[in-house]
């Protein structure tokens, strides 16, 4: 297990107030009366106990935003590296109306989770993978990006500072949302002259309102998610608003989410709006090969590795939509979604159903993944990062 570094502790001790940050931070939550936590204070008898929880009804958690105490912000001006990152009170930020991200969508986001273990540790799941993906995305979008170490360090600091918002074991996770935004002002279509890296967090549980019940997906005929040569393979913010209409239409018809086909032949499975997709046939597990149009999910990659380790024949390939007819099981993977079984997929008026009861491959794989993420299973892969 990779240990978190003690810098996190020192940096949290030296938290500064929001007013010292170059952005104007709108104090929309009355935070000025709340003391800045420090570990020194926490060790004194009158201070908040380190293990104290925020006032949240943990049994009611879904995937909505619960604002937490702190966010991390770091900036970078043209031709310079990111530097001077620090924690600030969670608050609105103010940016120019002509910021590149607002006008031209030059922005990337990530998602990762922190969990509490039964024995009181805090574990992050493969944050280096998110850091690397953000770096690759930044290259595609012509953006400056934080180094892998800066990214991981920022995530650790954000989680540590918001520790009281990490749900109790078994009640959910702290979802961590790093953003990279072209915040510099620009009028013509060109890269922003300034970038801002922000990390905020929110406690969450199940992504879908179905909870852990099987999903019912709808195959979209009109819209595609991404096309060859586009940016579907990177986590740009511009990949998400265009699918809202498809999701809304599917939800109106009672479906959980939309499954997209490839833009060229309209014949091969791509991904779901919020997650990657897998099909199971006997001992074979397949997922669409990433070819620039499919997001290289961290959970997707981890499940592929776990499945291989458990003796499944694992394949990344072009999956014709017709293969669904023969599939035993279908499941989705994603940081927010976890591993979710799919009960049915509907295309036009044809509904195909899959196995969702008894011994399920998706259940077995998810149990291993969650076991690693929550410290129940020993991490022999070096995936988990402990924060302390």
Using CB under 6 A, list all residues that contact ligand COI: 111, 274, 334-337
**List of E strands, the chain:** 2-3, 25-26, 70-77, 83-89, 92-93, 107-109, 112-116, 122-125, 173-182, 194-204, 215-219, 257-261, 269-272, 276-281, 284-288, 313-317, 329-334, 338-347, 350-353, 384-387
* Active-site hit among 113, 235, 245, 251: 235
Residue closest to ligand COI when measured from CB atoms? 111
Residue 338 vs 343, nearer CB to ligand COI: 338
Residue 145 vs 276, nearer CB to ligand COI: 276
Name the minimum Å distance from CB 106 to ligand COI: 18
Residue 335 vs 356, nearer CB to ligand COI: 335
DSSP codes of every residue in 59-86: GG--SS----SEEEEEEEETTS--EEEE
For residues 221 and 231, is the Cβ–Cβ distance under 8 A? no
Q: Is 251 a catalytic residue?
A: no
Residue 231 vs 336, nearer CB to ligand COI: 336
Q: What angle do CA 170, 174, 180 make, to 5 degrees?
A: 155
Name the minimum Å distance from CB 267 to ligand COI: 25
Q: How many residues make up the chain in this entry?
A: 388
- Cβ-count burial of 371 within 10 angstroms (0-12 exposed, 13-18 middle, 19+ buried)? middle
Name the minimum Å distance from CB 298 to ligand COI: 9
Name the minimum Å distance from CB 148 to ligand COI: 18
Task: State the catalytic residues.
Answer: 235
């Amino acid at each position: 297990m990779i240990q978190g570094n003690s810098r996190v502790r020192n940096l949290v001790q030296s938290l500064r107030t929001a007013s010292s940050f170059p952005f104007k931070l709108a104090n929309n939550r009355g935070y000025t009366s709340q003391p800045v936590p420090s570990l020194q204070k926490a060790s004194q008898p009158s201070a908040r106990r380190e293990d104290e929880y925020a006032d949240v009804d943990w049994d009611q958690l879904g995937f909505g935003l619960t604002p937490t105490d702190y966010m991390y912000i770091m900036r970078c001006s043209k031709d310079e590296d990111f530097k001077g990152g620090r924690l600030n009170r969670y608050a609105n930020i103010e940016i120019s109306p002509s910021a590149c991200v607002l006008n031209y969508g030059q922005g990337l986001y990530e998602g990762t989770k922190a969990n509490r273990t039964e024995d009181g540790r805090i574990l992050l799941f493969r944050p280096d993978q998110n850091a690397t993906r953000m770096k690759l995305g930044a290259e595609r979008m012509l953006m400056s990006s934080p180094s892998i170490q800066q990214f991981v360090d920022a995530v650790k600091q954000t989680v540590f500072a918001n520790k009281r918002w990490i749900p109790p074991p078994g009640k959910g996770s702290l979802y961590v949302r790093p953003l990279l935004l072209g915040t510099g002002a620009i009028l013509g279509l060109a890269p922003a002259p300034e970038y801002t890296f922000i990390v905020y967090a929110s406690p969450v549980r199940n992504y879908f309102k179905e909870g852990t019940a099987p999903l019912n997906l709808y195959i979209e005929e009109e819209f595609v998610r991404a096309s060859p040569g586009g940016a579907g393979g990177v986590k740009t913010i511009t990949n998400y608003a265009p699918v809202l209409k498809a999701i809304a239409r599917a939800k109106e018809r009672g479906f959980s989410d939309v499954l997209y086909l490839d833009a060229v032949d309209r014949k091969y499975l791509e991904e779901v709006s919020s997650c990657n997709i897998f099909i199971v046939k006997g001992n074979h597990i397949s997922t669409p090969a990433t070819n620039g149009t499919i997001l290289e999910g961290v959970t997707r990659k981890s499940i592929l590795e776990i499945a291989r380790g458990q003796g499944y024949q694992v394949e990344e390939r072009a999956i014709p939509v017709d293969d669904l007819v023969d599939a035993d099981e279908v499941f989705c993977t994603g940081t927010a979604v976890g591993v979710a079984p799919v009960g049915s997929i509907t295309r036009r008026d044809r509904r195909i159903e899959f196995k969702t009861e008894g011994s399920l491959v998706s259940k077995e794989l998810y149990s291993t993944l969650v076991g690693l993420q929550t410290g129940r299973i020993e991490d022999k892969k070096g995936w988990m990062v402990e924060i302390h």
